Amino acid sequence: MSLWWRARLLSIAVLMAMAALPLSPAAAREAVRIGVLKFGTVNWELDVIKTHALDKKEGIDVQIVEFAGRDATSVALLAGKVDVIVIDWIWVSRQRAEGSKLTFVPFSSAVGALMVPADSPVRTLADLKGKRLGISGGPIDKSWLLIRAMGLSQAGIDLDDAVDKVFGAPPLLNAQALAGRLDGIITSWNFLAELEARRFRTLVSVEDAARAIGISGTLPLLGYVFDEGWGRDRRDAVAALVRASRSAKQILAESDAEWDRLRPLVKPADDATFAALKAGFRRGVPTSWGQAERDDAARAYAVMAKLGGAELVGRSPTLQPGVFWPDVTY
């Protein structure tokens, strides 16, 4: 046999052997880079996804990219440094109005509330007149705007004029509230847990405020957000992420043992705060997402746009078409 034929047969044998080798699991899975706040509550769900290999079961590889602040995550998404972040659909609408084709899949319905000390004489929004109210997130915080809208519609009072407003970061406002320097506080659900554990009571929840302005159901405000072009090219990966997310939520909804495993990541101050955080997360698991919820979102957007103005919505006074990824309903 000639040297040429020997070389030819050897190369064929090598190619056949390579073809017989299985692809590595990592090579077969689509990578999905998710940008998150380093200490954010989104990490709880992502930890469950990774610990139970829920992403691998769905054929994707969730890669967690940590950032120090929310602005950093949104900049990373717009720059293409990550594929997905968790943020609200109001921001998505603003970005679409400015040319970025982002889209949203529900993540959580957990929202904030207005809380007062258990022994406070304040019983209604009207009772807050002249009181000192802490508000996290600044003057365009969504919870604050919805509660303002409730005051206008039900009590004829604009809290923006009626109260002594104190804006600040949630940990600072919690400390002031616990020290008795605030008559009430509006903040996000996970910071409310600390107050609930210390005998603060809810005066008005954001769900109450939403119902007062005609929102009939529970409205997911936060969601997985990604570029719609990226999503169209990776529809299977998006669907896989949604399934992995819902599987993780089911585990967290049903398993106290899973929460015990997560406790070092949650880092609660005490058992009462831990119980409140667990209950708050579970309440926030979205149970339905369809046209009714999309219509509710448009109504809520119109109210918040009116009160928050261009500082909140930019050039998008109405909810932009395409904000919600059409493939997901339940």
Least confident span in 3-7, 69-73, 192-196, 271-275: 3-7
The strands making up 113-117's β-sheet, listed across from edge to edge, are: 164-168, 132-136, 184-187, 113-117, 200-205
Task: Examine the pLDDT at 9 and tell me if it is beyond 80.
Answer: no
Distances in whole angstroms, Cα of residue 295 to Cα of each of 103, 242, 248, 292: 16, 21, 27, 5
**Nearest by Cα to 136 from 148, 144, 145:** 144
Q: Tell me which of 27 and 256 has the higher pLDDT.
A: 256
Least confident span in 14-18, 29-33, 182-186: 14-18
Q: Tell me which of 214 and 186 has the higher pLDDT.
A: 186
Least confident span in 123-132, 207-216, 235-244, 275-284: 207-216
Confidence of residue 167 (pLDDT cuts 50, 70, 90): very high
Task: Examine the pLDDT at 105 and tell me if it is beyond 80.
Answer: yes
Task: Examine the pLDDT at 11 and tell me if it is beyond 70.
Answer: no
Quote the mean pLDDT of the chain: 92
Q: Tell me which of 122 and 9 has the higher pLDDT.
A: 122
* Domains of the chain, first to last: 25-109+220-313 (3.40.190.10), 113-212 (3.40.190.10)
Q: Tell me which of 13 and 231 has the higher pLDDT.
A: 231
Sole residue written with tokens 């395409």: 322
CA distance 111 to 205: 8
pLDDT of residue 229: 98
Q: Tell me which of 204 and 15 has the higher pLDDT.
A: 204
Query: Any residues with CB less than 8 A from the CB of 280 and at least 6 apart, and which?
Result: 110, 189, 190, 192, 193
Mean pLDDT across 164-171: 97
For 90-104, b where at least 16 C-beta lie within 10 A, e where not — what string? bbbbbbbbeeebbbb
Task: Examine the pLDDT at 12 and tell me if it is beyond 90.
Answer: no
Task: Examine the pLDDT at 15 and tell me if it is beyond 60.
Answer: no
Mean pLDDT across 219-226: 96
pTM as predicted: 0.89
pLDDT of residue 2: 54
Distances in whole angstroms, Cα of residue 85 to Cα of each of 54, 246, 261, 327: 18, 16, 25, 18
Task: Examine the pLDDT at 116 and tell me if it is beyond 60.
Answer: yes
pLDDT of residue 178: 97
pLDDT of residue 217: 79
pLDDT of residue 218: 85
Task: Examine the pLDDT at 14 and tell me if it is beyond 60.
Answer: no
